[in-house]
């Protein structure tokens, strides 16, 4: 079992009790060294896309502008993901410190934390933290006697999954409808109110604060060449002990995470498949989960680590019902801008609804896969592009079970 933790240090809830040692260290290091340290750590964004954080900060720091923004993405809408909530509740000051370090590194003077509306507790905590930080002059002009000034606000999301996408989130903060923007231009060039803007996930920023605190060398002792450090895994589904577990990349297989952290499958049932990165990712069947938990191994198995939501599915579920559930989510959550995403997800939902209790034939499943390809090719944002990953992979893996009504009694 992995016994190495990285994020567990400095779990503070009050600004006045926190020493901000990582931020003070960053101020002494200067912008370029902070960016280099994050680049050297190999940290990849934990919001789902896995974009290298140091590189994003470097590009943003090179933008010439009178004003830059730094946004912490706490929307956490991917079904099965609940690790950002834990960080915002249990170590909010470290999240704040990560935001301040990132803002300092890229030269941003204004920031936001965008938290999903359903997260009442993190919203309450962050309102308090921001107020306290202003009072303690941790936010404001010339922080800790430096040249760096930074102000921050909290924005409460209104329950749309698409608003977790960075460009929709920016539209939402500007007061527009939460719909994705066409990229390029990327937010680091032209983001919030047309100014260079960095958007980073809550977990990414907690890691960044700890990397500055403990050094990229310490971070690099953990994980593999392409998956450095640790990852918060949200374990849910048919397991005995669901929860958030910190896993050193490469130290455990997916099956070991389920067995050792999750304490195995509920009611002694047999595992059928896992969804390794939230419902926007393809399934891995029981025979494919003896692989190390890393970005590269999961990609090799033709899925994605996504946001770290590891959903475990035991034998005995109605597969069509599971697919119907997923399709309802995408049908409800599409912003409607792109015709294939809007109409395709509605059509798939309709076909699956008709198939409930009866089964679905090969022609229809091929049609669903075709719709999936069209949506992937012709959609503007990741919501549409990944909306049929889960459903398409179930069709590929269990074609015969779908024919006989979707129930697997094996
Ligand atoms: C539909 C959709 C939903 C998303 N939801 C989230 C989210 O809830 N939290 C998040 O951090 N990133 C989310 N992302 C990814 C963001 O667009 C962005 O890549 C991320 O916030 C960047 O931070 P990172 O580089 O630290 O991962 C979502 C993307 C899409 C397409
Ligand atoms: S892919 Fe879907 S969610 Fe994304 S912009 Fe297009 S319609 Fe909206």
Q: Where are the domains of the chain?
A: 15-220, 230-314, 319-403
Residue 235: exposure state from Cβ atoms within 10 A (0-12, 13-18, ≥19): buried
Distance, in Å, from the CA atom of 298 to the CA atom of 310, rounded to the nearest integer, reads: 12
9/124 Cα distance (integer angstroms): 23
- First-to-last alpha carbon distance for the chain, in angstroms, is 30
Give the homologous superfamily in CATH for domain 15-220.
NADH-ubiquinone oxidoreductase 51kDa subunit (3.40.50.11540)
Query: Does residue 333's CB lie within 6 angstroms of at least one atom of ligand 1?
Result: no
Tokens of 313: 């599915």
What contacts 216, CB < 8 A, 6 or more positions away? Answer: 37, 38, 40, 41, 42
Element housing 135 (H / E): helix 120-135
pLDDT for position 3: 46
Q: What are phi and psi of 11, to 5 degrees?
A: -85, 90
Is residue 225 exposed (0-12), middle (13-18) or buried (19+ Cβ within 10 Å)?
exposed
Mean pLDDT of the chain: 94
Pocket lining for ligand 2, CB < 6 angstroms:
162, 179-180, 334-338, 341-342, 379-381, 383-384
319-403: CATH class: mainly alpha
Residue-wise pLDDT tens digits, 258-290: 999 999 999 999 999 999 999 999 999 999 999
CA–CA gap between residue 55 and residue 43 (Å, rounded): 10
Pocket test for ligand 2, best of 165, 331, 383 (most atoms within 8 A of CB): 383
Query: 102-148, pLDDT tens digit by residue?
Result: 999 999 999 999 999 999 999 999 999 999 999 999 999 999 999 99
pLDDT of 252: 97
**Is the shortest distance between the CB of 166 and ligand 1 below 6 Å?**
yes
Q: Does residue 204's CB lie within 6 angstroms of at least one atom of ligand 1?
A: yes
- The structure tokens listed for 283 are 């399934």
Q: For residue range 76-111, list pLDDT tens digits in order.
A: 999 999 999 999 999 999 999 999 999 999 999 999
CATH topology of domain 230-314: Ubiquitin-like (UB roll) (3.10.20)
Residue 5 binned pLDDT confidence (cut-offs 50, 70, 90) = low
* 114, two tokens: 């965008």
pLDDT band at residue 25 using 50, 70 and 90 as cut-offs = very high
Burial 376-408 (b: 16+ CB within 10 A, else e): beebbbbbbbbbbbbbbbbbebbeebbeebbeb
């Amino acid at each position: 079992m992995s016994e190495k933790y990285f994020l567990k240090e400095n779990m503070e809830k009050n600004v006045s009790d926190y020493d901000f040692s990582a931020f003070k260290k960053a101020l002494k290091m200067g912008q370029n060294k902070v960016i280099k340290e994050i680049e050297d750590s190999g940290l990849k964004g934990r919001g789902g896309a896995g974009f290298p954080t140091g590189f994003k900060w470097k590009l943003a720091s090179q933008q010439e502008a009178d004003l830059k923004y730094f946004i912490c993405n706490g929307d956490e809408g991917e079904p099965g993901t609940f690790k950002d909530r834990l960080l915002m509740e249990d170590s909010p000051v470290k999240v704040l410190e990560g935001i301040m370090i990132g803002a300092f590194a890229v030269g941003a003077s204004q920031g936001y934390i965008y938290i999903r509306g359903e997260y009442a507790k993190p919203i309450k905590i962050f309102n308090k933290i921001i107020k306290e930080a202003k009072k303690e002059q941790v936010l404001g002009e010339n922080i800790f006697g430096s040249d760096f000034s930074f102000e921050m606000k909290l924005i409460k999301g209104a329950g749309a999954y698409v608003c977790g996408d960075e460009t929709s989130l920016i539209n939402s903060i500007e007061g527009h409808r939460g719909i994705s923007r066409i990229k390029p231009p990327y937010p680091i060039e032209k983001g919030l109110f047309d100014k260079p803007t960095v958007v980073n996930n809550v977990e990414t920023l907690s890691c960044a604060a700890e990397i500055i605190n403990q050094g990229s060398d310490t971070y690099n002792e953990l994980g593999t060449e392409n998956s450095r450090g640790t990852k918060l895994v949200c374990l849910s589904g048919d397991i005995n002990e669901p929860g958030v577990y910190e896993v050193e990349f490469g130290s455990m297989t997916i099956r070991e995470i389920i067995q050792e952290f999750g304490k195995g499958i509920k009611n002694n049932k047999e595992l059928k498949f896992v969804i390794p990165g939230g419902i926007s990712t393809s399934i891995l069947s029981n025979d494919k989960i003896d692989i190390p938990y890393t970005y590269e191994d999961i990609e090799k198995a033709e899925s994605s680590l996504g946001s770290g939501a590891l959903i475990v599915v035991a034998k005995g579920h109605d597969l069509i019902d599971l697919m119907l559930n997923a399709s309802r989510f995408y049908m409800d959550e599409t912003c409607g801008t792109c015709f294939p995403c809007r109409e395709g997800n509605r059509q798939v939902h309709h076909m699956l609804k008709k198939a409930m209790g009866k089964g679905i034939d090969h022609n229809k499943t091929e049609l669903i896969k075709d719709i999936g390809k069209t949506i992937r090719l012709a959609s503007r944002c990741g919501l549409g592009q990944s909306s049929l990953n889960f459903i398409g992979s179930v069709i590929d893996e269990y074609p015969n079970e779908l024919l006989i009504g979707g129930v697997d009694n094996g």
